[in-house]
């Protein structure tokens, strides 16, 4: 073996040893006692706890009332066609590209279905809202 290969082998072994040794340390940077032989295990140091002030009088613990759930998102029907066009269609192409075409409702539905197959994210109701909007502003 030539000298370069020997050096590379030594470096590789050292790197492996470093990686393995890093994996044997816990979050405090000390060796994990479970992985050491019984002879090498030192007694863990006692942890110092912060002093806790005890209340002068016992107070009755009152359970908190459950918080109201977050309001649900607005129903999909509350989204208008213009918003859908600007937020969903313009991620791939300019919104005005859609308004330059002149299509019937069925043609817009077909176009939107094709865009959904290409990755546009629209629910069925959003699809219908967008098709109606586009046929209204750019319909035949």
Report yes or no on 59 lying in a domain.
Answer: no
The CATH number covering residue 130 comes to 1.10.760
Q: Which domain holds residue 130?
A: 79-138
Instruction: State pLDDT tens for residues 42-86.
Output: 555 555 555 555 555 666 666 666 565 544 444 445 588 889 888
Report yes or no on 107 lying in a domain.
Answer: yes
Statement: residue 31 has pLDDT above 80: no
Q: What is the pLDDT of residue 28?
A: 46
Q: Please choose, from the candidates 114, 130, 131, the residue with its C-alpha nearest in 3D space to the C-alpha of residue 79.
A: 130
State what percent of residues in the chain have pLDDT above 90. Answer: 18
Report yes or no on 108 lying in a domain.
Answer: yes
Report yes or no on 85 lying in a domain.
Answer: yes
The whole-number average pLDDT for the span 133-137 is 90
Q: What is the pLDDT of residue 97?
A: 82
> What total of structural domains would you count in the chain?
1
Q: Which two tokens stand for residue 100?
A: 């330059």
CA distances from 129 to 6, 97, 104 (A): 70, 18, 14
């Amino acid at each position: 073996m030539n000298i370069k290969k020997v050096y590379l082998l030594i470096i590789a072994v050292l790197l492996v040893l470093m990686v393995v040794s890093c994996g044997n340390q816990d979050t405090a940077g000390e060796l994990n006692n479970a992985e050491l032989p019984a002879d090498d295990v030192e007694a863990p140091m006692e942890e110092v706890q912060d002093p806790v002030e005890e209340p002068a009088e016992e107070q009755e613990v009152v359970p908190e009332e459950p918080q109201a759930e977050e309001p649900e998102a607005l129903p999909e029907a509350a989204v208008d066609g213009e918003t859908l066009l600007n937020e969903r269609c313009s991620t791939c192409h300019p919104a005005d590209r859609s308004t330059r075409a002149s299509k019937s409702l069925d043609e817009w539905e077909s176009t939107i279905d094709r865009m959904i197959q290409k990755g546009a994210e629209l629910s069925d109701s959003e699809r219908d809202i967008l098709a109606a909007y586009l046929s209204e502003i750019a319909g035949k």
